[in-house]
Amino acid sequence: MNAVHDARIMTGRYLTHVARAPEEIVLYFSLPIMFTLVFGYVFGAGMAVSGDAYREFLVPGVFVMTMLYGLGATATGVAVDINRGVGDRFRSMPTARSALMAGRSAADLVRALLEMSVLIVCGLLVGWEANRGILAALAAIGLILLLRIALTWVGIWLGSLVPNPDTVSVIVFPLAFPLTALSNVFVAPDLMPSWLGAISQWNPISATVAAARDLFGNPGVGGDSWAADHAILLAVAWPVILIAIFAPLAIRRYRRLGS
């Protein structure tokens, strides 16, 4: 019970930081909104799926892309805490050792819910709709948030590795940009060279995007590969694999910081 109480306090601490730095939220929202407008209205006519249909194709990809780039905020927050000695101070207090990371994970999930709420409103304004009902839409949102939870642990691990917060962008952007570019966020893998399309279909980002499009009832990317036929399964499997890898790495790294 003490661990849950401490984690709740840490969650409130992180959310207070978010409320005091609204410019960070504006920054992270500006990129996906810009991509929606530019690709949806400027380049959409030249895509295989055009007009309103392309915007329905695009918006689920923007949802997932926002979750991916959110790991930068996670890594930066962790790096700032470590750089300021916050972790050392909390370890010297009678608090649960797991509270700091549990609080960070919970706060990032709340932040992701806020981001999703705003992006859904933006999507509706540009013509996107969830066409398969509320339950399927909630399942799609659940898969997107599951990926965000997995990426939170990746961010915690990365943030604990860097020597200072300024280094985070040097690591995160070269990691996140290829994952976005080599995915089905903007273009169907079938339109790529065959070898590149195969990479795209097995991309964890592509799995969640394809599953979300299916559950939202939006235009999909097609394809006859195993990955294309089992997108929902992969959208569950990839985050579970990432959590299984990076959560232990993050916990181990955190414990070593205090040694």
Span 235-246, pLDDT tens digits: 999 999 999 999
For the chain, how far is it from start to end, CA to CA, in angstroms?
26
The pLDDT score that the predictor gives to residue 246 is 94
Radius of gyration of the chain (CA): 19
Cα angle value 51/53/56 (rounded, 5°): 120
The answer, yes or no, to whether residue 144 has pLDDT greater than 90, is: yes
Q: What is the pTM of this model?
A: 0.88
| Beta carbons of 50 and 44 less than 8 angstroms apart | yes
Chain segment 67-118, per-residue pLDDT in tens: 998 888 888 888 887 887 776 676 666 666 667 777 888 888 888 888 888 8
Residue 230: strand, helix, or coil: coil
Q: Say whether pLDDT at 221 is over 80.
A: no
Cα–Cα distance, 89 to 93 (Å, whole number): 7
The predicted structure's pLDDT at residue 26? 74
For every residue of 179-213, DSSP letters joined together read: HHHTSSSSS-GGGS-HHHHHHHHTSHHHHHHHHHH
Query: What is the pLDDT at residue 169?
Result: 80
Mean pLDDT value across the chain: 82
**Whole-number Cα distances in Å, 18 to 24, 77, 108, 256:** 8, 10, 10, 27
